Amino acid sequence: MTDEHTLGKSFTLNDGNSIPLVGLGTSRILPNETISVITTAIDIGYRHFDTSEFYKNTTQLGDGLRQVLLSGKVNRDELFITAKLAPCYEAFGDIETSLKEFLTLLQLEYVDLCLLHFPIQFKKGAKKCNDHTKLGEYINGICDHVQLWKEMEDVVGKGLAVSIGVSNYNQEQIQNIRQICKIPPAVLQTECHAFLQVKDLVQFCQDEGIFITAFAPFGSPGLSNYKPCYKECGILKDDVVLDLVRLYDRTPAQILLRHLTQRGIGVIPKSSNAVRLAENINIFDFSLTDDDMEMITKLDKMGRIFSFPL
């Protein structure tokens, strides 16, 4: 059933910070397009931008954010910046060091949300890898989540991040953090879409007051163009989705995003196209019925696209 809070455009986290339900995922946006995409997205109404140390466009993202701030189109407190730290943590203090380096690239004094990108540890050289690198060769093993979380709490205390959370963590790993934390995780970012609805994980997080943000809400179409080992999952062409497209006169993307937000899940779709950018954020003037939601729920295949050694 649709919850009232999902009909707004933002959600209040467990620490009181407010996160926009729809953000722009910046993975695989070409560096030479990034500044233009950020400017266009701001003009359309985006205020939430998601990035990672692993992305190849962070310098250009910083330039784009700087330009829109200097132009006066938005103030810093109107933006919500999510930064995922690459898990290259080999010594105490690496979290603060990594975040400060990231903030320098973004040309910001703080981020609104800092996430641990993976629950595994990579060697330092992984940050310099390219699309052809086999990341498995850089894995050191599972991180010390307890120690890392204490360092995450420290960056909040130092004003480098407002909220903190995790990405690609499972329920057990989140529980381990919650047992020792002074500041609980505010957000879990995870793969979630119609073919992978992770219902148990979503229910656990919502019961614990942890907000879920879904990456790859469309099943990451086009990913195979960058990495042939990934296969298209076809959510955007599913018959159930297309029936709802005709019923509501919406795009497949809008139907899928509306389904997620009505579950109380935030979304960070990626696009460089101005038309699709506008479509992806304009999903709050219609609602799916309970029957519609149930039809999409039945599409769940537990079909994970991104596999990580968790």
Task: Say which of 55, 89, 138, 169 is annotated catalytic.
Answer: 55
The one-letter code for the residue type at 84 is K
* 183, 207 Cβ separation under 8 angstroms: no
The H-assigned helical ranges of 168-227 are: 171-180, 199-207, 223-226
Token pair, residue 222, equals 């086009």
Q: How far is residue 183's CA from residue 231's CA, in Å, rounded to a whole number?
A: 38
Q: How far is residue 277's CA from residue 79's CA, in Å, rounded to a whole number?
A: 17
Within 10 angstroms of residue 162's Cβ, the number of other Cβ atoms is 18
| Residue entry with tokens 């407010």 | 18
Write the burial class of residue 194 (CB in 10 Å: 0-12 exposed, 13-18 middle, 19+ buried): buried
Q: Three-state DSSP class for 139? A: strand
117 annotated as belonging to a binding site for a ligand: yes
Active site residue 55: yes
Token pair, residue 207, equals 């019961």
* 98, 85 Cβ separation under 8 angstroms: yes
Q: How far is residue 193's CA from residue 236's CA, in Å, rounded to a whole number?
A: 11
- Point out the residues that are catalytic: 55
Give binding residues for substrate as ranges. 117
Give binding residues as ranges. 117
